[in-house]
Amino acid sequence: MQRRDFLKTSAAGAGLLVLPSGVLSGASAPSNKLNVALIGTWGRGEAHFGALQDENVVALCDVDEQHLEFGAKRFPKAKKYVDWRKCLDQKDIDAVVCCTADHTHAFIANWSLNRNLHCYMEKPLAISVKEARLVRAHWLRKKDKIATQVGMQRHAYPNFNRVQELIRDGAIGKLTDVYAWGNRKIPRPGYLPAEGEPPAHFHYDLWIGPSPFHPYNPGYFSGGPGMNCLQWNMYWDFGTGQIGDMGSHTLDIVWDAAVTSGLPTTMEAKGEPFNPEVTPVEMEFHCRLPANDWRGEIGVHWYQGGAMPRSPRDWVDLNKIGHGAMFKGTKGYLISDFTGRLVIPFGDDADMSYYDRRPKDQMLPDVGHFQKEWINACKNPSLKTSCDFDYSGTMIETMLLGLVAYRVGKKLEYDAATGQVRNCPEANDLLGRKYRQGWTLDG
């Protein structure tokens, strides 16, 4: 039976394990392993080796043949590819883990979904608003059958749940605004000049992939394992700078606790002067998110590269929190980093007598192992993942719209239903990006 036919029939019984071999049995049976393709087999790719070691890694893909060999040492039985498009044609694949450069993420996500493959995509899910919307729309059509996750693994820290409980249970009253910031600064003047030739083991043209061509320079590849993204992610054609990098992790704190769904109605931004080659170091955006079933309309505010929200108290130095979040309510503030939190009540109710602490047995359950959460959901369609392509898609779409507002320097009115800016045609031109001939976003 073809995989897509199997998915069609098996998913009818939610709660049944989806098995590559079509056999139902216990969770530890060999037939219950996923057949996985790992795309990007070094750097961040290595962070997935442990979670994948109990599955069948049947395909490896990397544009750098030395990096491919690095992955092959751990998963020697896998077939090897340098072009992810060919890799995704391998017939026995059930699921894809992708750790490539950001400008290929939406491509690989779409191609995986179009082949009914479960997909774990490293953050960010996309680098343009249109990419984010397309991936999300694709997944929403298949969400009962296909498990997705974006690599925001800090989401599994228990602090995320504790912050969410405090906010939802009214520890700071009615929520009005949420703030997140990151202090990373990697200033660059522009794309690197041509220097030397790519080594024979490195398929540079495939690395450039769908983006406009820029000449080779070894500087783009001079970073250590898992850190090399900091050599290329600030250039517009390869990434989105801090928005997609630490922003994906830090905004996740406020998205989880306070936003969860929805898209902005308005967006404005400011920062350092626009550089057509490099994303901004210093920038901030401010948007309005509509009310949902548990809260009213809120403001969402992002600051990076030196821009910071004001501290609610002189004795709290927000600059000491490199990547942090703050929630403002009618009765106080909550300040958080990834692992700890501080509640500052204010006003007549500062004794917090209004607040009912949630009993221990009603606290949110731990996420557990973040990558395994996805693997389990691939095998059992009734299980959910924390950072699926809907949740992560709306988050990155919002952030990328912030970059568009920064580029045009105007307050945008956004129609979330159509993904169009109502009041600024030049902003609409920046919602997508140009691709090189031969590369299809939705193949």
Ligand X SMILES: NC(=O)c1ccc[n+]([C@@H]2O[C@H](COP(=O)([O-])OP(=O)(O)OC[C@H]3O[C@@H](n4cnc5c(N)ncnc54)[C@H](O)[C@@H]3O)[C@@H](O)[C@H]2O)c1
What are the residues binding ligand X (CB under 6 A)?
39-45, 61-64, 67, 84, 99-102, 104, 122-123, 151, 153, 206-207, 209, 226-229
- Give, as one character, the DSSP assignment of residue 192: P
The strand pair at 298-304 and 175-182 is best described as parallel
> Which amino acid, residue 143?
K
Distance (Å, whole) CA 396 – CA 292:
19
Distance (Å, whole) CA 227 – CA 43:
7
Residue with smaller CB distance to ligand X, 63 or 172: 63
Q: How far is the CB of 390 from ligand X (least distance, A)?
A: 19
Cβ-based neighbour number of residue 397 at 10 Å: 26
Cβ-based neighbour number of residue 349 at 10 Å: 14
Q: Do you find a cis peptide bond into 124, omega within 30 degrees of 0?
A: yes
Residue with smaller CB distance to ligand X, 63 or 178: 63
Q: How far is the CB of 103 from ligand X (least distance, A)?
A: 8
Closest residue to ligand X, based on beta-carbon distance: 43
Residue with smaller CB distance to ligand X, 109 or 412: 109
Residue with smaller CB distance to ligand X, 61 or 147: 61
Residue with smaller CB distance to ligand X, 104 or 336: 104
Spell out the residues 6+ positions from residue 320 whose beta carbon is closer than 8 angstroms to its own: none
Q: How far is the CB of 432 from ligand X (least distance, A)?
A: 20
Q: How far is the CB of 185 from ligand X (least distance, A)?
A: 17
**142 and 369 in contact (C-beta within 8 Å)?**
no
- In sequence order, which ranges of 209-272 are alpha helices (DSSP H)? 246-254
Residue with smaller CB distance to ligand X, 7 or 68: 68
Q: How far is the CB of 148 from ligand X (least distance, A)?
A: 15
Would you state the structure tokens that stand for residue 221, as one six-digit string? 């590849």
Q: How far is the CB of 349 from ligand X (least distance, A)?
A: 39
Distance (Å, whole) CA 243 – CA 252:
12
